[in-house]
């Protein structure tokens, strides 16, 4: 019986043979159909006992719901699958903090070149 994370990593490598662990981002590389098939296959494997699951495997609706959520969770958070990124910390988080430092600057008074330069800082 495989662990859940290991199973998701193996399935991603099956769907994306050229996938580089810790470098590529699986969620971006998988097509919508591949992602749906991946979730379904993981659900099937849980029902058949190939993947660890601590609840009732016979409740197929719950298993598939769990599998969908679990696969997405691993695609986002597992460093092997998300390009070795720390979940929740990235350009979006950094950008949300930076404008506070420039809040007192009136960008409308700047020349076009300076506006562009300030735009690169944010």
pLDDT at 6: 95
pLDDT of residue 43: 96
Q: What is the pLDDT of residue 10?
A: 96
Q: How many residues does this entry show for the chain? A: 122
What is the model's pLDDT at position 22? 93
Q: Is 83 exposed, middle or buried (0-12, 13-18, 19+ CB in 10 A)?
A: middle
How do the pLDDT tens digits run along the chain, 122 residues long? 899 999 999 999 999 999 999 999 999 999 999 999 999 999 999 999 999 999 999 999 999 999 999 999 999 999 999 988 887 655 555 444 445 555 666 777 777 777 777 777 65
Distance CA 22, CA 26 (A): 10
What's the confidence (pLDDT) of residue 76?
A: 93
Closest alpha carbon to 30 in 65, 71, 61, 79: 71
Q: Residue for token digits 């008074």?
A: 109
């Amino acid at each position: 019986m495989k662990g859940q994370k290991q199973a998701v990593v193996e399935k991603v490598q099956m769907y994306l043979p050229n996938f580089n662990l810790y470098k590529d981002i699986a969620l971006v590389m998988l097509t919508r159909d591949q992602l749906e098939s991946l979730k379904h296959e993981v659900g099937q494997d849980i029902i058949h006992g190939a993947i660890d699951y601590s609840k009732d495997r016979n409740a197929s609706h719950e298993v598939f719901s769990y599998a969908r959520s679990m696969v997405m969770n691993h695609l986002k958070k597992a460093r092997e699958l998300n390009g070795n990124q720390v979940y929740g910390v990235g350009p979006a988080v950094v950008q949300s903090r930076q404008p506070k430092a420039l809040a007192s600057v009136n960008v409308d008074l700047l020349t076009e070149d300076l506006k562009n330069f300030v735009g690169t800082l944010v």
